Amino acid sequence: MALNSNTPSGPLSEKWDNHKFNLKLVNPANKRKYDVIIVGTGLAGASAAASLAELGYNVKTFCFQDSPRRAHSIAAQGGVNAAKNYRNDGDSVHRLFYDTIKGGDYRAREANVYRLAQVSVNIIDQCVAQGVPFAREYGGLLDNRSFGGAQVSRTFYAKGQTGQQLLLGAYSAMNRQIGAGKIQSYTRHEMLDLVVVDGKARGIIARDMVTGKIERHAAHAVVLCTGGYGNVFYLTTYARGSNATAIWRAHKKGAYFGNPCFTQIHPTCIPVSGDHQSKLTLMSESLRNDGRIWVPMKKGDNRRPEDIPENERDYYLERIYPSFGNLVPRDIASRKAKEMCDEGRGVGASGLAVYLDFSEAINRLGQKAVEARYGNLFDMYKQITGEDPYKTPMRIYPAVHYTMGGLWVDYNLMTTVPGLYACGEANFSDHGANRLGASALMQGLADGYFVLPYTIGDYLAGEERKPITTDHPEFEAAEKNVKGMIEKLLSVKGTKTSHDFQRELGLIMWNHCGMARNEKGLIEGIEKIKALRQDFWSNIMVPGSGEELNQNLEKASRVADLIELGELMMHDALHRRESCGGHFREEYQTPEGEALRDDDNFAYVAAWEFMGVDSPAKLHKEELNYETVKRSQRSYK
Partner 1 sequence: MSGNMNLTLKVWRQKNTSASGTFETYQASGISPDMSFLEMMDVVNEDLIKQGKDPIAFDHDCREGICGMCSMYINGRAHGPLKGVTTCQLHMRTFKDGDTITIEPWRSSAFPVLKDLVVDRSAFDRIQQAGGFVSVNTGSVQDANSIPVPKENADEAFLSAACIGCGACVAACKNSSAMLFVSAKVSQYALLPQGQVERAKRVVNMVEQMDQEGFGNCTNTEACEAECPKQISVSNIARMNREYIKAKLFS
Q: Tell which residue, 258, 255, 254, has the closest CA to residue 415.
A: 255
> In angstroms, what is the C-alpha Rg of the chain?
24
Query: Which spans in 205-315 are helix H?
Result: 245-252
CB of 237 to partner 1, least distance (A): 8
Tell which one of 384, 477, 523, 613 touches partner 1 (CB under 8 A). Answer: 384
Q: Tell which residue, 248, 196, 197, 252, has the closest CA to residue 227.
A: 248
Residue 364 binding partner 1, by CB under 8 A:
no
CB of 178 to partner 1, least distance (A): 5
HSE-up of 106 (CA within 13 Å, CB side)? Answer: 22
- Contact letters for partner 1, residues 536-575 (x by CB under 8 A): -----x-xx---xx-xx-----------------------
Tell which one of 172, 350, 359, 470 touches partner 1 (CB under 8 A). Answer: 172
Residue 58 binding partner 1, by CB under 8 A:
no
Tell which one of 90, 198, 276, 600 touches partner 1 (CB under 8 A). Answer: 276
Using the minimum distance from each CB to partner 1, give the nearer residue, 185 or 455: 185
Residue 284 binding partner 1, by CB under 8 A:
no
Tell which one of 39, 178, 413, 490 touches partner 1 (CB under 8 A). Answer: 178
Distances (CA, A) of 160 to 90, 123, 230: 25, 19, 22
- Contact letters for partner 1, residues 11-50 (x by CB under 8 A): ------------------------------------x--x
Using the minimum distance from each CB to partner 1, give the nearer residue, 176 or 472: 176
Tell me if 590 sits within 8 A of 598, measured CB to CB: no
Using the minimum distance from each CB to partner 1, give the nearer residue, 500 or 598: 500
Query: Which spans in 514-579 are helix H?
Result: 519-539, 551-575
Residue 2 binding partner 1, by CB under 8 A:
no
Residue 187 binding partner 1, by CB under 8 A:
yes
Tell which one of 168, 399, 456, 574 touches partner 1 (CB under 8 A). Answer: 168
Residue 449 binding partner 1, by CB under 8 A:
yes
Interface with partner 1: number of residues (CB under 8 A)? 83
Q: Between residue 317 and residue 336, which ones bind partner 1 under the rule CB under 8 A?
A: none
CB of 45 to partner 1, least distance (A): 14
CB of 392 to partner 1, least distance (A): 17
Interacting stretch for partner 1, rule CB under 8 A, among 31-39, 335-343, 381-389, 390-398? 381-389
Q: Between residue 120 and residue 149, which ones bind partner 1 under the rule CB under 8 A?
A: 122, 124-142
Spatial distance between the Cα atoms of 405 and 617, rounded to a whole number of angstroms: 16
Tell which one of 33, 69, 251, 401 touches partner 1 (CB under 8 A). Answer: 69
Interacting stretch for partner 1, rule CB under 8 A, among 105-113, 168-176, 434-442, 464-472? 168-176
Q: Between residue 454 and residue 473, which ones bind partner 1 under the rule CB under 8 A?
A: none
Interacting stretch for partner 1, rule CB under 8 A, among 167-175, 317-325, 529-537, 571-579? 167-175
* Residue 82 CB partners (closer than 8 Å, separation 6+): 96, 120, 121, 123, 124, 154, 156, 442
Residue 117 binding partner 1, by CB under 8 A:
no
Identify each DSSP E strand in 172-251 by its residue range. 183-186, 189-197, 200-208, 214-218, 221-224
Tell me if 313 sits within 8 A of 294, measured CB to CB: yes
Tell me if 15 sits within 8 A of 114, measured CB to CB: yes
619: exposed, middle or buried (Cβ count in 10 Å: 0-12, 13-18, 19+)? middle
Tell which one of 203, 258, 260, 453 touches partner 1 (CB under 8 A). Answer: 453
**597 φ/ψ angles, rounded to the nearest 5 degrees:** -80, 160
The torsion region of residue 492 among left (phi > 0), alpha (psi -120 to 50) and beta comes to alpha
* Residue 194 CB partners (closer than 8 Å, separation 6+): 201, 203, 204, 222, 246, 249, 250, 253, 255, 417, 420, 478
Tell which one of 96, 101, 173, 404 touches partner 1 (CB under 8 A). Answer: 173
Using the minimum distance from each CB to partner 1, give the nearer residue, 476 or 547: 547
Using the minimum distance from each CB to partner 1, give the nearer residue, 42 or 581: 42
Considering Cα of 465, then 470, then 471, then 473, what sign does the dihedral take? positive
Q: Between residue 72 and residue 101, which ones bind partner 1 under the rule CB under 8 A?
A: 72, 74-75, 84, 86
Q: Tell which residue, 305, 355, 387, 336, has the closest CA to residue 148.
A: 336
CB of 503 to partner 1, least distance (A): 11
Using the minimum distance from each CB to partner 1, give the nearer residue, 549 or 611: 549
Spatial distance between the Cα atoms of 357 and 637, rounded to a whole number of angstroms: 22
Q: Between residue 291 and residue 310, which ones bind partner 1 under the rule CB under 8 A?
A: none
CB of 239 to partner 1, least distance (A): 4
Give the number of other CB atoms < 10 A from CB of residue 492: 16
Residue 158 binding partner 1, by CB under 8 A:
yes
Using the minimum distance from each CB to partner 1, give the nearer residue, 58 or 259: 58
Tell which one of 3, 116, 328, 380 touches partner 1 (CB under 8 A). Answer: 380
Tell me if 123 sits within 8 A of 129, measured CB to CB: no
CB of 464 to partner 1, least distance (A): 27
Spatial distance between the Cα atoms of 217 and 229, rounded to a whole number of angstroms: 24
Residue 383 binding partner 1, by CB under 8 A:
yes
Q: Tell which residue, 405, 411, 406, has the closest CA to residue 3.
A: 411
Residue 349 binding partner 1, by CB under 8 A:
no
Tell me if 204 sits within 8 A of 194, measured CB to CB: yes
Q: Between residue 471 and residue 490, which ones bind partner 1 under the rule CB under 8 A?
A: none
Buried b (16+ CB within 10 A) or exposed e, 289-310: bbbbbbbbeeeebeeebeebee
Tell which one of 88, 278, 491, 615 touches partner 1 (CB under 8 A). Answer: 278
Q: Between residue 206 and residue 265, which ones bind partner 1 under the rule CB under 8 A?
A: 210, 237, 239-241
Using the minimum distance from each CB to partner 1, give the nearer residue, 158 or 423: 158
In the sheet that holds 618-623, the strands lie side by side as: 406-407, 257-258, 604-609, 618-623
Q: Tell which residue, 356, 366, 368, has the closest CA to residue 317.
A: 356
CB of 182 to partner 1, least distance (A): 11
**32 φ/ψ angles, rounded to the nearest 5 degrees:** -70, -5
Using the minimum distance from each CB to partner 1, give the nearer residue, 276 or 466: 276
Interacting stretch for partner 1, rule CB under 8 A, among 96-104, 157-165, 359-367, 575-583? 157-165
